[in-house]
Amino acid sequence: MQIIDGKAVASQIKQEIAIEVEAIKNAGGKTPHLAAILVGHDGGSETYVAHKVKACAECGFKSTLIRMDENVSEDELLDKVYQLNNDPDIDGFIVQLPLPKHISEQKVIEAIDFRKDVDGFHPVNVGRMSIGLPCFVSATPAGIMDLLSRYKIETKGKHCVVLGRSNIVGKPVAALMMQKSYPGNATVTVCHSATPNIKEICLSADIIIAALGSPEFLTGDMVKEGVTVIDVGTTRVPNPNTKSGFKLTGDIKFDEVSQKAAFITPVPGGVGPMTICSLMKNTLLAGKKAIYK
């Protein structure tokens, strides 16, 4: 059994990006610039955005954090989005989710110029991804694909079972795993809350990508020997024995599944660190105008 070390891969990719950015700067090119809009003071969002700003510094990017009040109106937020759309120094930007209830996330996502949508959430990027055109692929699916290819995991003709059908992980990763190029070309089954025979389906899987948000859902008796397992779940399960009072728990019962798996991601340290790394990759592509002019 081999652990898929997302932390190590992410660190390596960030180093590769930093080297490329240094070369761009030395050649007189523009420093990639990522902006993030953070509305309110949600604890999780604060942490995510701080990590993104730190990753920008590690990669040699410029970053701008725009804070808006919890009570900001939808129109004010949309105005800020239009301002960033039209700012030539900003190559890409994100609006950190979730947003307060009075603001439509979909409206905000669709207001972002798709050429600057480094989160890959805009319908143009989602649509282009699903038909295999160059685009910004969203962070978690892109990170999973990077892990599979960095560990040279065979995917062609394999049965890949995706657990979960969310717009940000399940659906896009299923689309990527069935595309013809590597890492893909797999036969993909998507299971969700209305799937009656999940155990039988998982037992026939060569690759399982678990993105249900259901702690320790996948148990040892649900997988075959030699399976590759990617755990996207990160649920904060209350735990009095930890300093923070909770334990970050994946969708996989690691102790059981790791007995049978050939490759497996840990939680934390698997898919998580890859997501920010994918955002950095998209920002570099945006800075280079590599996808959209």
Q: Which residues bind ligand GUN (CB under 6 A)?
A: 48, 94-97, 119, 139
Q: What are phi and psi of 10, to 5 degrees?
A: -60, -40
Q: Is 89 a catalytic residue?
A: no
Query: ∠ CA(20), CA(23), CA(29), 5° rounding?
Result: 105
Q: Hunting for tokens 């904060």 — which residue is that?
A: 236
| Residue whose C-beta lies closest to ligand GUN | 97
Q: Which residues contact 278 (CB under 8 A, 6 or more apart)?
A: 137, 138, 139, 140, 142, 143, 146
CA angle in degrees (0–180, nearest 5) for 5-277-175: 85
Terminal alpha carbon distance of the chain = 44
Residue found under tokens 């060569």: 206
Find the shortest distance in angstroms from Cβ 134 to ligand GUN: 20
Q: How far is the CB of 27 from ligand GUN (least distance, A)?
A: 31
Does the active-site annotation cover 117? no
Kindly tell me which of 78 and 262 has the beta carbon lying closer to ligand GUN. 78
Give the active site residue among 5, 91, 117, 119.
119
* Catalytic annotation, pick one of 14, 52, 171, 281: 52
Handedness of CA 174, 179, 184, 185 (dihedral sign): positive
∠ CA(148), CA(154), CA(155), 5° rounding? 80
Q: Is 42 a catalytic residue?
A: no
Closest approach of ligand GUN to the CB of residue 49, in Å: 9
Residue number with CB closer to ligand GUN (95 or 162): 95
Q: How far is the CB of 253 from ligand GUN (least distance, A)?
A: 25
Residue 120 or 206: the one with the smaller Cβ distance to ligand GUN is: 120
| Residue number, 205 or 279, with CB nearest to ligand GUN | 279
Cα 266 to Cα 20: distance, rounded to the nearest angstrom: 29
- Active-site residue, selected from the candidate residues 5, 80, 91, 96: 96
* Residue 276 backbone phi and psi in degrees, to 5: -65, -35
Q: Torsions phi, psi of 36, nearest 5?
A: -130, 135
Name which of 48 and 217 has its Cβ closer to ligand GUN.
48
**CB of 45: closest distance to ligand GUN in angstroms?**
6
Of the candidates 135, 131, 139, 89, the residue with the CA atom closest to the CA atom of residue 292: 135
ω into 183 cis (within 30 of 0): yes
Q: Which residues are catalytic?
A: 52, 96, 119
